[in-house]
Structure 1
């Protein structure tokens, strides 16, 4: 598998990393919408726990081993990891799901309040 050894069990930790690329944005968008619809600790906890394994494993793989920190491209690779994997695949879809849900609910409530004669809108 990796590094020429087929008996390295820890390579299984990279399966969620690979699956996070196509499915992670959708999962984070759903959790963002969930946080916007039902604010509370449960939705927020899942928003943190869901990406913890894939992002954490890749972060450890990016940072370690420490002897590569002296390489001139290490900082560029780390910033690219933060921008693409953390920002683009994890945080941005969550923000879009949360923001779109909040705006939709606000506009719908405003429209319903204006159409309801009992409210006096």
Structure 2
């Protein structure tokens, strides 16, 4: 039992599969809304522990390296699914959603939807 302390590192990795996409999408939105080092640093450091732990668990059973399917399993399972679909894709979707919506609003112009554009003012009187 005393030699199983490393299992504590697998707990964030286990929660990363169901919760990580939501966290990464929120971080992508945060990076798009607040550009700067702080948001980018959070986007890199927050998933660092679960992604690294699973990478170490996937790489270090060195006796499986001799199997013919090891590289395909590693690239498809860990890199493709865990890094690509669970971590990077949600961040990218959150980031792009904000950037596209801002670009569409900017293209419409600042007067779109305002009273100056010829629309009626339907706000209640003060």
Correspondences of 1:6-25 after superposition (within 5 Å): 6-7=1-2, 8-25=4-21
TM-score, length of structure 2 as denominator length: 0.83
Q: Structure 1 residue 23: deviation in Å?
A: 0.5
Which residue of 32, 37, 43 corresponds with 2:39?
A: 43
Partners of 1:58 and 1:73 lie apart in 2 by: 18
Aligned to 1:86: 83
Greater alpha carbon shift after TM alignment, 8-17 vs 64-73 = 64-73
Structure 2 unaligned regions, length at least 5: 118-126
| Structure ID, larger Rg | 2
Moved >4 Å (runs of 4+): none
Task: Name the structure with the higher helix share.
Answer: 1
SS at match of 1:70: coil
Further displaced range: 109-118 or 90-99: 109-118
- How many pairs were matched up? 113
Q: CA RMSD in A?
A: 1.6
Deviation at 1:105? Answer: 1.5
| Secondary structure of residue in 2 paired with 1:113 | coil
Q: Does 1:113 align with 2:110?
A: yes
